[in-house]
Each structure stands twice: as C-alpha cells, then as structure tokens.
Structure 1
Amino acid sequence: MAAQARMRSARVLVVHLGALGTEITKNLVLSGIGSLCIIDDKVVSTQDLETQFFVGKEEVGIKRLAAAAPRIQDMNPRVNLDFVAEDFRNKPDSYFQQFDLIVATDLDSFEITKINNISRKFSLPLFVAGLNGLSGYIFVDLIQFDATDDKLKSSMPTSVGQVSERRDVLTVLDHYNEEQNKTYEQIVTRNIYVPFEKMVREGTLKGKLTKRQLKRLTNAVPLTLALLYGTEGSKHVTSEILKEKAKKMCVQLGLLPENLQQRYIDQFSEQAGLEFAPVAAILGGAVAQDVINILGKKQSPLNNFVVLDGISLDMHIFEL
C-alpha cells in the first residue's frame, strides 16, 4: 500500500515521444502513476508511423504531442497528464525541479550530460535510453538509492557488507511468513551511482568479469559506448571513425580490440540512432519497470548501464 501511495503521488517527466518515449509512456500510464509530463517539440513523420501507436498517417506534419495526447489520456483517465510542445533544451534548470524523476530518450552525448548535470543539481533520479537499430542502451543515475528486497532465506544467509564497488548491504532482518511457513530476509541495499560523463570517460570492466564472461561479451558494449563518447553526432559517424573510437573504448574497458568484428562495426555505423519497434518495446519495458520499482522503493534498481544486443539477444547490466 505504501508503494502504491508513492506511485500515485509521483510526478515524472518524459523527454521526447519517439519510439522509446512511446513505450515508456504507455507502461507508466497503465501502471497508474500519479502525474506524467511529456515534453517534445517534434512533428509526426512517416518514420514515426513504423514505431509508434499513438499517431496515425493522417497526422503526419502536426505536433507529435497534439496527435498523441488524446490516445494517451484514454489509456488511463486517472493519470494527471501534461503535454509541453517545446524543446527541453530551452527550459531553465529550475523547470526540472518540480519533478520527482526524469526519463530522457533520443539524446546525444552533450544533451545527456546537460540533463544529468541538472538532475544532480536537484538530486533527481535520471533514466536515459537510446536506440541504435537492433541495439540499445539504458543509463541510470539515481545518485544514491536505498532499496528494500524480500528474499527467501536459504542455508547461505545474506551478509551485511560490500557487494560490489558501488553496492553495499546495510541491514538484513529475518521475518517469518506464517501462511507460507517460510522465513524471508528483508535486505536493505545502498546503491551509489556515477554521472554519465564520468561513466563514459572512466568506466571500466577490468576486474569485474571472468575470462569466460569477457570472451562472451558482445561487441555492442564497446560500440555503444564509443557512439556516446565524442563530439560528432552518432547518426553520421563513419565505420572507420567508429572503429578507431571502439578500439580506444576497448582499452578503457579492459577488452581486446582485436575481438571487434567488422560486421558489428558496419551495423552500428549504419543503424546509429535508428528506431526499431521491437527493440524499443524491450528497452521501454525495462525502463518503465525500473521506474516503477524505485518510485515504490522496492527491489534493487539497475546500476548503472544496460546494453541490449538485438543480434545475439544478450542484455548486459554493468557497473561502469
């Protein structure tokens, strides 16, 4: 009940109503969130028709929010919705302070850094997600978050102490469930996050994965980070430039540059920034579920970077 009350009182901002924004919005509205604001200044394009279900072909050329608003409201009239047809970059920092959480989609690295600086300025949880054709990513910055999980007690009870570099178990309390005749552990875990710019420039997997895990690691991980690192727009990066950036990222991550496959490099350079509906559905569902979890303060959240590879069907979660 307490978790549901927190959900109903939460005010969330979604930046951009592209393929990802559409999936995230759908899931949050259906979950019964209290208040949702969507900011987007784009108009409906023919490409939108392939990845969205809030707009129709007769609405091509008009503002996406104007087209989508009635259909979003119809999904759950109890949710308080606000539609802002403006460029989020033109809003003063103070505008974002009114929200409890921000979900940003379809941003370049400069825009991610900008909104992350704002979220940290006001201590706001931030989710950022993006698509690269058959691949996609989620970046999470909750700054510091204490999560409560219930776990069936086993012969190996959970210990208080450090779990990883940025995750610590603070308390473990046993409680008995009479109906199930089982004993559970209530575990409080503290998660510490790093900002986007630090993750991209300093994040590493050195000492965090086994040799077998490193060998099986998809090329989508260094290539995704390579697209997020640098000054040129990811939608116009060439295969040659991406390959050089990915090699440097491999060194930073502790991976072997020679394991980069040309087919992956070519795919990423061709599909950077493209939206595919099935990939948007998977990532949008993951983001929305984690938002619901942290608003309810139940279950440990994602910490702090997720990469989905639509070719191998791998979805990796890393502390970077």
Structure 2
Amino acid sequence: MGTQLRLRSTKILLINLGAIGSEVVKNLVLGGINSLEIMDSSKLKEEDFSSQFFLPDKPENIGKLKVPLVIDQIKDLNNRVNLTINTATFESVFDYEDRANDYLSNFDLIIATEMPKAFMIQLNSYTRKLNIPLYVAGMHGMFGYVLLDLIKHTSVVTKDMGNQPRRPNTKINSNKLISDVSYDEKEKKENITIIDTYKPISEMFSSKELPNQLNRRQLKRLSAAFPLIFTLFDVEKPVYIEDSLDVDMLREKASLVCEKHDIPTAVITDEYLNFFSRQAFTEFAPVAALIGGCLAQDVIQYLSKKESPINNCLIVDTIRSEMPIYVL
C-alpha cells in the first residue's frame, strides 16, 4: 500500500487545537489526510489570536468554543478532507475505560498536544491496550518536545552500500533493530528492514538511558531544555500565562529530574532557568510551526513505512538551534 493510499485510509484523532495542533492539522490536511477528528473543549481566549492562525480575527468570539470557529478555514485547505469535531471534555470521555476504548477504537493514530502529564499517561494506557500509535507534543515559548509511543513499527529503508555491509540482527540502539538486509549489487543499494519498538510514555519520566547513549562530554553539553521541560510536567500551569514561575522552585525540581535521569545537575544554568521561568506554557508561533511541521512529517514517514520514525523523544531548543532525538 502506497503512502498516499495510507494517508487517505488512516483515521486520525487530534486532541487540543492549540498552536502546535493548528500546525499539525495544516500540514496533514495539505499532505492529503482524508479523515481527521479534532477533540477540543476549550473556549477562545484573547492570547489565542497571536499563535493560532485558523481562528477568525473577531474579538466578539472570545469565550466561545474554539473548534467550531475553525472548521471552514481548515476545509479551505482541502475541501475533500472528512473533518469532524468533538467538544466533549477529556475527563468526560477518558475517565471511563469502556467509553474511552469505544471512542479511541474509531481511530488508527492519535496526536495529543499541550496535555497534562496525568492525562498523557492515562491516554497512553488506553492506546497501548488498543495498539494505537500515539504522538504527544507541547511547547514552552522557544522550547518544545515530541514524545512518541508507536508501540512497534517496521520500515524498509533503501541506502547506498558502504564499505562495510549492514548485517541482520544488528542493534542500532536499545529500541531500534536491523532485522533484515537485502543487497542490490547492480544498483549498489541495501534494502534495510528496521524494527522500532517503543516504551510506554510513563517510563520516559524515570529513564536512565541518556548516559548510555551520550559520552561524558556530550552529557556536559546537554541542553538544560531537557530537564526543564521534564520539570514542567510536574508544575501547575499558572492561571495567568504572563506570570513568571519561581526560579528557585524550578532549580530545585530540575535538580531532582537530573538525578532521576542520571544526568549532571550542572547542565541547569541561570540563563535557562530565567528563560523557562518567563516562557513556561506560552505559545510562540514560529516554534509551533517547527514542532508541528516536524511531527506531521514524522506521521507521514510512519505511514509510508519507508523511513524509521522518531524513537522516542525529540527536544526542541531554538536558542541553540538544536532538535536532538533521545532514546528514553
């Protein structure tokens, strides 16, 4: 089955249409996705206008449910897309396992954005049981993340032959295995079958895999974005988004995250503590475009089966112009 056919036959659920969600929807709809449901119970706030481009610029809509306001703008991108919406709250659907399973079983792939940690883990427990791949993404101003539990994925990648031929049953890392290799001597190509296995997202929050994939020098250079992003999963979002978070609180919690992941606390710098104190939970349109575009591209790669998807944590640090992928 070709990539376009898979795009047309895959039913995708997107939970929360914020800045990243808007970018994901744009890229998937333009990319040819046929069936998309958007689940979002939020009401329009004034700050949404600055980073969510589907919203009509009408201040009188503030306080109204957001998703019904954007349907026409999304369909303008591709009028053949089968677009549906669900304005139920997360709790009303997912606090009941039978109801959650009935709802989620309608979809082949799920993308959730800006989701609290407890909801994320709860959702992932359902998607695992139903064998449905899950992407989770979020941002804090100039920083962001994508976490994936695609359960298991097999891809066939074609590469030029090197001096040393690739061999079957070779581990690329703890989650990625070359299971088979066929050789095209005439074209000097290798067709490499790669199996990616994924862990539940809950296990990422206590993973000690980083020291196994980074040497001492790389660990010292690790961006503070990693521990600070994971710190904010356990920090309550301020009522007023313009309020800064307490720097000492962030430092203390980030140090605990470093200990949990077995990485040096020295990576936490005053500069990054101040960045995250001011930017936590904020949306910045250019960074949302970067994260949303990357996520949508990975979904298409996942469906193509011609490339190995992200496995399993992408961190975005636009201060350093870095987007490293870590295996947690």
Residue 182 in structure 1 maps to residue 187 in structure 2: yes
Paired residue for 1:75?
77
Q: Which amino acid aligns with 1:250?
A: C
Q: C-alpha distance in 2, partners of 1:206/1:239?
A: 27
Query: How far 1:5 sits from its partner (Å)?
Result: 1.2
Partner Cα distance (1:158, 1:297) in 2: 19
Q: In the alignment, is the contact (CA less than 8 A) between 1:219 and 1:261 conserved in 2?
A: yes
SS at 1:73's partner residue? helix
**Aligned twin of 2:218:** 213
**Partner residue, 2:96:** none
Partner of 1:20: 20
Q: How many Å separate the matches in 2 of 1:259 and 1:71?
A: 43
In 1, the alpha carbon distance for the partners of 2:156 and 2:62 equals 45
CA distance in 2, matches of 1:246, 1:154: 43
CA offsets 1:219-274 (integer angstroms, 9 cap, x no match): 1011111222x3x4144753222211211221233322133111211221222111
Aligned-residue offset at 1:165: 1.0
Give 1:65 deviation, angstroms.
Answer: 1.2
**Structure 2 counterpart SS, 1:207:** helix
Q: In the TM superposition, what is the alpha-carbon distance from 1:189 to its structure 2 partner?
A: 0.7
Secondary structure of residue in 2 paired with 1:155: coil
Structure 1, residues 151-183: CA drift from partner, whole Å, max 9, x if none? 12222222222111111100111236xxxx732
1:87-98 matches, within 5 Å, as 87-91=89-93, 92-93=99-100, 94-98=102-106
Structure 1 match to 2:172 = 163
- SS at 1:20's partner residue? helix
Seq. identity, %: 36
C-alpha separation between the residues in 1 aligned to 2:55 and 2:237?
27
Letter in 2 for 1:20: I
- Give the 5 Å matches for 1:233-244: 233-235=236-238, 238-244=246-252
RMSD: 1.6
Q: How is 1:246-257 mapped onto 2 (pairs within 5 angstroms)?
A: 246-257=254-265
SS of 2:184 mapped into structure 1: strand
Matched to 2:181, the amino acid is V
Do 1:2 and 1:296's aligned partners in 2 also have CA atoms closer than 8 Å?
A: yes
> Structure 1 residue 120 and structure 2 residue 120: aligned?
no
Q: What's the counterpart of residue 182 of structure 2?
A: 173
For normalisation by structure 1, the TM-score amounts to 0.93
* 1:222 alignment partner AA: P
After superposition, the C-alpha distances for 1:53-94 in whole angstroms (9 at most, x for unaligned) are 111231333221111000101100121111112223311212
Q: Does 2:266 align with 1:258?
A: yes
State the alpha-carbon separation in 1 of the partners of residues 166 and 217 from structure 2: 26
Q: Distance in 2 between matches of 1:194 and 1:234?
A: 27
2:305 corresponds to 1:297 = yes
CA displacement at 1:48 relative to structure 2 = 1.1
In the TM superposition, what whole-angstrom CA distance separates every residue of 1:87-139 from its partner, at most 9, and x where no partner exists? 23311212011100000001111111111111112010000000111100000
Find the counterpart in structure 2 of residue 283 from structure 1.
291
Structure 1 position 23, deviation (Å)? 0.2
Q: Give the Cα–Cα distance (whole angstroms) in 1 for the partners of residues 85 and 141 of structure 2.
A: 27
Q: SS state of the match for residue 212, structure 2?
A: coil
The size of the alignment, in residue pairs, is: 314
**Equivalent of 1:86 in 88, 92, 95:** 88
Matched, 1:192 2:197: yes
Counterpart position of 2:322: 314
Q: Secondary structure at the match of 2:70?
A: helix
Amino acid at match of 1:243: R
What TM-score, normalized to structure 2?
A: 0.91
Q: Is the 8 A contact 2:208 2:262 kept in 1?
A: no
C-alpha contact 1:204 1:252 (8 A) present in aligned 2: no
Question: Which moved further from structure 2: 63-72 or 154-163?
Answer: 154-163
Deviates more, 1:100-109 or 1:208-217: 208-217
Return the alpha-carbon distance in structure 1 between the equivalents of residues 291 and 262 of structure 2: 26
Shift of 1:188: 0.9
Where does 1:33-52 land on structure 2 (aligned, <5 Å)? 33-52=33-52
Which deviates more, 122-131 or 216-225?
216-225
Point out where structure 2 has 5 or more consecutive residues left out of the alignment: 94-98, 240-244
Q: Is the 8 A contact 1:46 1:57 kept in 2?
A: no
- How far, CA to CA, are the matches of 2:311 and 2:68 in structure 1? 35
